[in-house]
Amino acid sequence: MDFAYSKEEQAFRESLRAWLEKKRDEGAMGGHTPASLDEVVEQGRRWQKELYEGGWCGVHWPREYGGQGAGLLEQIIFQEELARIGSPQLINLLALSMVGPLLIDHGTDEQKKRYLKPILTAEEIWCQGYSEPGAGSDLASVSTSAVLDGDEYVVNGQKVWTSYAQYSTFCILLVRSDPEVPKHKGLTLMIADMRQPGVEVRPLRQMNGDSEFNEVYFDDVRVPKDNVIGREGEGWTMAVAMLMYERATLTFQRQLQSRVALQDLIAFCKEYGPDGTPASKDPLVRQRLARSYIESHALRLTSLRHLTKQLKGSPPGPEGSMEKVFWSEMFQRMLQTAMSVSGPYSQLAPGDERAPSEGRWPHLYLYSRGRTIAAGSSEIQRGIIAQRVLGLPKDR
Ligand SMILES: Cc1cc2nc3c(=O)[nH]c(=O)nc-3n(C[C@H](O)[C@H](O)[C@H](O)COP(=O)(O)OP(=O)(O)OC[C@H]3O[C@@H](n4cnc5c(N)ncnc54)[C@H](O)[C@@H]3O)c2cc1C
C-alpha cells in the first residue's frame, strides 16, 4: 500500500480544507447540538446542499450525473477532511454510499438521470426497505409481495426498522416477486415512491428518545416496471451488492464519524471530571483513550487496505465485514468510556442543563448499541468472515 498522495491529490485536499474552514467559520455546519431529529435532518440537508454547491459532493460520481468525475481517492480525502473539521454526518448517507453506487453500476440510463443528482443535493432522501418482522438476518425470507399488473407491480406487505422513512422520497425495496421458486431466486429490488397512496410510515421510538426508524406498510402500492434495479428475480444479487457497499464504503465513512467522536471525547476528558479534576489525569481513563486511539488507527489502516483492492478494480468484498464488526464494537467501547467519565451525570439527557456536553454522550451511547445489529449483526458478520474470508465450511 502506498500512503503517499500525488501533487494533484494534495492540492485537492488543500483547497477542500480551505473551503471547509471558511464554511465552518461562517457557521454553515450548524453550531449547536440539534434538539431533535427534525433539526438534525434540516441542518443536514442545508449542509449537504452547501457541499454540493461548493462542488464537493459526489466527488467520484460521473460528471453527467452531478458528480465531479474524480477518483475514489479524492472521495476518501473528502471524507477525511470532513472528519478533521468535525463535520456532521451527511444526511443522505444511505443514498450517497449505497443507492448511488448501486445505480451507477447497475441502473438503467433513465434511472441514473432521474435519481442521482437529487441524492447529491439532498433534495431527495432515501430509505432502505429490506428488513421485515420475519426477515432480518435471514434476508432472503422477505415476504412483501410484488405482483405484476400491466406495466406496474402491486406491492403489499410490511417493512420494519426503516431508518429515515419519514423523511424519504424513495425507498429501495426488496420484494418477493415469485413465491414459487427457491427463496433466493424469487426476489426483486425496486424503487418505490414513498409519497404515494398506500404507503404508511409509523415511527418507532428508540431508547435514546429518537424515532430514527419506522415500520412501513405497503397496501396495494404501485411500482412501475421501469423502477426495477437489475432484472426481475435478480433481487438477491442486487441486494447483496448494495450491502457490500454498506459494509465496506459506508464503514469507511463511519470510522471517520468515530474519529470525530474520539477527538471530542479526548477534549471532553481534558476539561471534565465529576469531582472537578479533569478525567484525563486518571491513568485508567488515559489508557482507555489510548486504546481507542490505537483501535481507530488500526481500523483506518484496515479500511485503507480494503480500499486499495477496490482501487485496483475489485468490487467491495466480504472483508468489509471485518471493518463493520470492529468499527461497531470499538464505537461502543469508546462511548462506554464517555459514560464512565461522566459518572452519575451520564444519566442526564439532552435538555438538562446539568448534563455534561449537553447530554451528547448518553444519547450517543444508547444509539451505539444498535450499531452491532444494523447492517447485519456481529454474529452474522463473523459468520461471513469465517465462511467467505477464511474459507471455513458453512455452519449449517
Ligand atoms: C439502528 C438500526 C437501523 C436499521 N436500519 C435499517 C434500515 O434502514 N432498513 C432495513 O431494512 N433494516 C434496518 N435495520 C434492521 C437490521 O438490518 C436488522 O435488525 C438486522 O439485520 C438483524 O435482523 P433482526 O432484527 O430481524 O434480528 P434476527 O435476525 O431475528 O436476529 C436475532 C439475533 O439472532 C442472531 N442470529 C440470527 N441468525 C443467526 C445466524 N445465522 N448465526 C448466528 N446468529 C444469528 C442475530 O445475530 C441476533 O443476535 C436497522 C437496525 C438497526 C439496529
377 close to ligand 1 (CB < 6 Angstrom): yes
CB 88 within 8 A of CB 30: yes
Q: Would you call 9 a catalytic residue per the annotation?
A: no
Q: Are both 55 and 86 inside the same structural domain?
A: yes
What was the pLDDT predicted at 208? Answer: 85
| Dist CA 3 CA 311 (whole Å) | 13
Q: Are both 252 and 218 inside the same structural domain?
A: no
158 close to ligand 1 (CB < 6 Angstrom): no
What was the pLDDT predicted at 291? Answer: 97
Burial class (CB in 10 A: 0-12, 13-18, 19+), 7: exposed
Catalytic residue among 212, 246, 295, 323: 246
CATH number at 188 reads 2.40.110.10
Q: Are both 138 and 229 inside the same structural domain?
A: yes
Distance 258 CA to ligand 1 centre (A): 22
The C-alpha cell at 226 is: 421501469
The boundaries of the domain holding residue 258 are 238-389
Q: Are both 269 and 382 inside the same structural domain?
A: yes
**Domain for residue 256, yes or no?**
yes
**Domain for residue 171, yes or no?**
yes
**Long-range contacts of 258-261, Cβ-Cβ distance < 8 Å, separation of 24 or more:** 258/296, 258/299, 258/327, 258/330, 258/331, 258/334, 259/83, 259/296, 259/300, 260/83, 260/86, 260/87, 261/331, 261/334, 261/335, 261/364
- CA-proximal residue: ligand 1, atom 43 (nearest): 379
Q: Are both 385 and 261 inside the same structural domain?
A: yes
- The domain boundary residue, chosen from 120, 152, 175: 120
CB 125 within 8 A of CB 164: yes
What is the three-class DSSP state of 353? Answer: coil
CB 335 within 8 A of CB 361: yes
Q: Are both 100 and 184 inside the same structural domain?
A: no
DSSP state of 364: H
pTM of the model: 0.92
What is the three-class DSSP state of 103? Answer: helix
User: Phi/psi class of residue 150: alpha, beta or left (left: φ > 0; alpha: ψ in -120 to 50)?
Assistant: left
Q: Are both 206 and 78 inside the same structural domain?
A: no
- CA-proximal residue: ligand 1, atom 18 (nearest): 136
164 close to ligand 1 (CB < 6 Angstrom): no
- CA-proximal residue: ligand 1, atom 30 (nearest): 136
What was the pLDDT predicted at 31? Answer: 64
- The domain boundary residue, chosen from 71, 99, 120: 120
What was the pLDDT predicted at 182? Answer: 94
What was the pLDDT predicted at 251? Answer: 65
Q: Quick one: CA dihedral 267, 334, 332, 319, positive or negative?
A: positive
**Domain for residue 1, yes or no?**
no
| Dist CA 147 CA 70 (whole Å) | 41
List CB contacts of 46: < 8 A, sequence separation 6 or more: 28, 30
CB 54 within 8 A of CB 19: yes
Q: Are both 277 and 385 inside the same structural domain?
A: yes
The C-alpha cell at 28 is: 454553515
**Domain for residue 29, yes or no?**
yes
- The domain boundary residue, chosen from 120, 141, 156: 120
Query: How many distinct structural domains can be found in the chain?
Result: 3
Q: Are both 274 and 341 inside the same structural domain?
A: yes
The residue written with cell numbers 445489529 in the block is 373
What was the pLDDT predicted at 250? Answer: 67
Distance 128 CA to ligand 1 centre (A): 13
- Cα 260 to its chain centre, rounded Å, is 15
Q: Are both 72 and 157 inside the same structural domain?
A: no
**Domain for residue 395, yes or no?**
no
Q: Which residues of the chain fall below pLDDT 70?
A: 1-2, 31-33, 247-252, 396
Amino acid at 376: G
Q: Are both 356 and 343 inside the same structural domain?
A: yes
CATH number at 114 reads 1.10.540.10
**Domain for residue 394, yes or no?**
no
Beta strands in the chain (DSSP E): 126-129, 145-149, 152-163, 170-176, 187-193, 199-203, 213-224, 228-229
380 close to ligand 1 (CB < 6 Angstrom): yes
**Domain for residue 2, yes or no?**
no
Q: Are both 369 and 263 inside the same structural domain?
A: yes
CATH number at 307 reads 1.20.140.10
List CB contacts of 98: < 8 A, sequence separation 6 or more: 128, 172, 242, 245, 246, 249, 250
**Domain for residue 396, yes or no?**
no
211 close to ligand 1 (CB < 6 Angstrom): no
